[in-house]
Amino acid sequence: QSALTQPRSVSGSPGQSVTISCTGTSSDVGGYNYVSWYQQHPGKAPKLMIYDVSKRPSGVPDRFSGSKSGNTASLTISGLQAEDEADYYCCSYAGSYTFDVVFGGGTKLTVL
Amino acid sequence: QVQLQESGPGLVKPSETLSLTCTVSGGSISSYYWSWIRQPPGKGLEWIGYIYYSGSTNYNPSLKSRVTISVDTSKNQFSLKLSSVTAADTAVYYCARQRTRYDYVWGSYQEGPKYYFDYWGQGTLVTVSS
């Protein structure tokens, strides 16, 4: 069982927006602004999409955005495109006396 | 452009030690933190541990008794050893980079990792089987 809870799957049509949630506790997601999101296509390595809750690395489209409220972080993808279909994982700092870094179980995004 | 490449045996026998190396090219291993992350087939990601170029380490408590991560700055490499492996250790193993953050605490700067992974290796599948 993963430390952070994500929906197993979400879906949307091209052009629509989807939001993927990531629920933790006050000891991880809620306690620090260190949430990151990764996109993983089949057979490929994860790719950093969002860090520090809402910052985008250079080269990541601004269709991808992150936010946090309480113990739940969210990744929103607007203007869905076919190439966005992938697995998405959230990740959070969990304190230096515990797991340090914990991941969510992953969410499969299907573009209909 | 920084590139990371994992290398090592793809098959390890139960009870033996898994050994992998990550070679960093296109940049120096210095001044960064370097992690190992694994992903069992069809499952999610699990952080194993990290090492600073200076040699300080931090491990996932659930694996700490079996894990050793080391660094060789002269070769721009860092390595993972996982002992007493079982079938549950079968996974794709990734190496990844973390940037360094500097916190001003009690009149001096302390170094620590940033909690995201900006560069990843392509991953290597390690199967534990006799």
Q: B76-119 pLDDT, tens per residue?
A: 999 999 999 999 999 999 999 999 888 888 888 888 889 999 99
Q: CB contact, 8 Å: A104 with chain B?
A: yes
- Asked whether the predicted pLDDT for residue B128 surpasses 90, the reply is yes
Q: Identify all chain B residues contacting A45, using CB atoms and an 8 Å cutoff.
A: 94, 120-123
Instruction: Give pLDDT, residue B78.
Output: 98
User: Is B106 in contact with B92 (CB distance < 8 Å)?
Assistant: no
**Residue A55, helix vs strand vs coil:** strand
User: Could you tell me the end-to-end alpha-carbon distance of chain A, in angstroms, rounded to an integer?
Assistant: 29
Instruction: Give pLDDT, residue A40.
Output: 98
- Mean pLDDT of the region B20-25: 98
pLDDT digits (tens, 9 = 90+) for B42-62: 999 999 999 999 999 999 999
Tally A–B CB contacts below 8 A.
58
Q: CB contact, 8 Å: B60 with chain A?
A: yes
Instruction: Give pLDDT, residue B102.
Output: 86
Residue whose C-alpha is closest to residue A32's, from A14, A51, A15: A51
- Mean pLDDT of the region B58-79: 95
Residue whose C-alpha is closest to residue A95's, from A29, A28, A45: A28
The Cα–Cα gap between B24 and B34 comes to 10
Q: Identify all chain B residues contacting A52, using CB atoms and an 8 Å cutoff.
A: 116
The Cα–Cα gap between B44 and B87 comes to 16
- Asked whether the predicted pLDDT for residue A1 surpasses 60, the reply is no
User: Considering chain B, what is the average pLDDT of its residues?
Assistant: 95
pLDDT digits (tens, 9 = 90+) for A64-110: 999 999 999 999 999 999 999 999 999 999 886 666 899 999 999 99
Q: Quick one: how far is CA B111 from the chain centroid?
A: 19
Instruction: Give pLDDT, residue B122.
Output: 98
The Cα–Cα gap between B51 and A10 comes to 35
DSSP assignment letter at B42? T
Q: Identify all chain A residues contacting B47, using CB atoms and an 8 Å cutoff.
A: 99-103
Q: CB contact, 8 Å: A105 with chain B?
A: yes
Instruction: Give pLDDT, residue A99.
Output: 63
- Mean pLDDT of the region A50-58: 97
